[in-house]
């Protein structure tokens, strides 16, 4: 897995403080950034958090580049609705040499890992064979319809990928560019940094949070699973490791 921040709103903490200043003071728009020292910026952000006034945090967004993750992760992360996603298309990209993500439990079991790799190699072989058959059929059809040969070759390849991809596994790798505002990110971290989250998206969320804390430490100082800020909300499903979790995120 590889993740990095591609870009984010400039001066994120100061911008959120300026938005809060508008809400709680009579300042003109042109004056919002005036006098916003580091101390006053921190004071505004602390006040917003204490009041639960989260809308100003939506003015700042972060864009991440994510690769080396599975299509299984993609299915989970796109359930976070207040976000924008661009994803490598299996319809247009040839995946006959796809990489795959091995779950830790399978990695730790030699026999399971052997079976898993065999399954991935079988999927690769079937994908390649299916794509070749479908491309041949599409090329014959398109040229019979009068399409020039060079154009038919290109179109046939894309048509083949579109249907051959159906055999690809959830473990197949993908790449994502994702943008979220800070409010949505904090919600994402609360849900996906939790020990109850699936291992891969939890690893991604923790890495994203680490990067965000470096870029905007005030905004993300208290971000993470709910047990960092109080009791575990999972009830009977709790992992029972709140102290361990708090120690981990204190050192993140």
Residues involved in catalysis = 192
Q: Residue 252 is encoded by which pair of tokens?
A: 């993140």
The torsion defined by the Cα of 167, 172, 175 and 176, in degrees rounded to 10, comes to: 80
Distance CA(16)–CA(11), nearest Å, equals: 9
Q: Are 192 and 201 a contacting pair, CB within 8 Å? A: yes
Q: Residue 175 is encoded by which pair of tokens?
A: 């790449």
Which residue in 5, 62, 49 sits closest to 184, CA to CA?
A: 62
Which residue in 196, 150, 38, 166 sits closest to 95, CA to CA?
A: 166
Query: What are the angstrom distances between the C-alpha of 155 and each of 29, 45, 138, 165?
Result: 53, 53, 8, 16
Q: Residue 186 is encoded by which pair of tokens?
A: 């904090």
Outline where DSSP puts E strands in the chain. 2-8, 61-70, 84-87, 173-181
């Amino acid at each position: 897995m590889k993740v990095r921040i591609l870009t984010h709103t400039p001066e994120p903490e100061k911008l959120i403080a300026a938005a809060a200043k508008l809400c709680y003071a009579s300042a003109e728009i042109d004056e919002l950034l005036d006098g916003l020292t580091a101390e006053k910026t921190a004071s505004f952000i602390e006040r917003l958090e204490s009041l639960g006034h989260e809308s100003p945090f939506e003015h700042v967004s972060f864009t991440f580049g994510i690769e080396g993750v599975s299509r299984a992760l993609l299915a989970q992360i796109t359930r976070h609705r207040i976000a924008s996603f661009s994803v490598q298309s299996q319809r247009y990209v040839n995946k006959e040499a796809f990489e795959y993500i091995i779950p830790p439990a399978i990695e730790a079991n030699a026999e399971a890992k052997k079976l898993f790799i065999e399954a991935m190699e079988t999927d690769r072989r079937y994908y390649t064979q299916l794509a070749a058959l479908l491309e041949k059929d599409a090329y014959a059809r398109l040229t019979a319809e009068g399409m020039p040969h060079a154009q038919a070759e290109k179109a046939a390849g894309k048509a083949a990928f579109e249907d051959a991809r159906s055999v690809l596994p959830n473990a197949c790798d993908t790449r994502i560019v994702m943008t979220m505002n800070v409010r949505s990110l904090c919600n994402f971290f609360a849900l996906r940094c939790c020990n109850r989250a699936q291992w891969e998206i939890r690893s991604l969320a923790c890495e994203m949070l680490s990067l965000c804390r470096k870029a905007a430490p005030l905004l993300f100082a208290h971000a993470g699973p709910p047990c960092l800020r109080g009791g575990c909300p999972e009830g009977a499903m709790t992992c029972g490791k709140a102290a361990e979790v708090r120690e981990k995120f204190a050192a993140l």
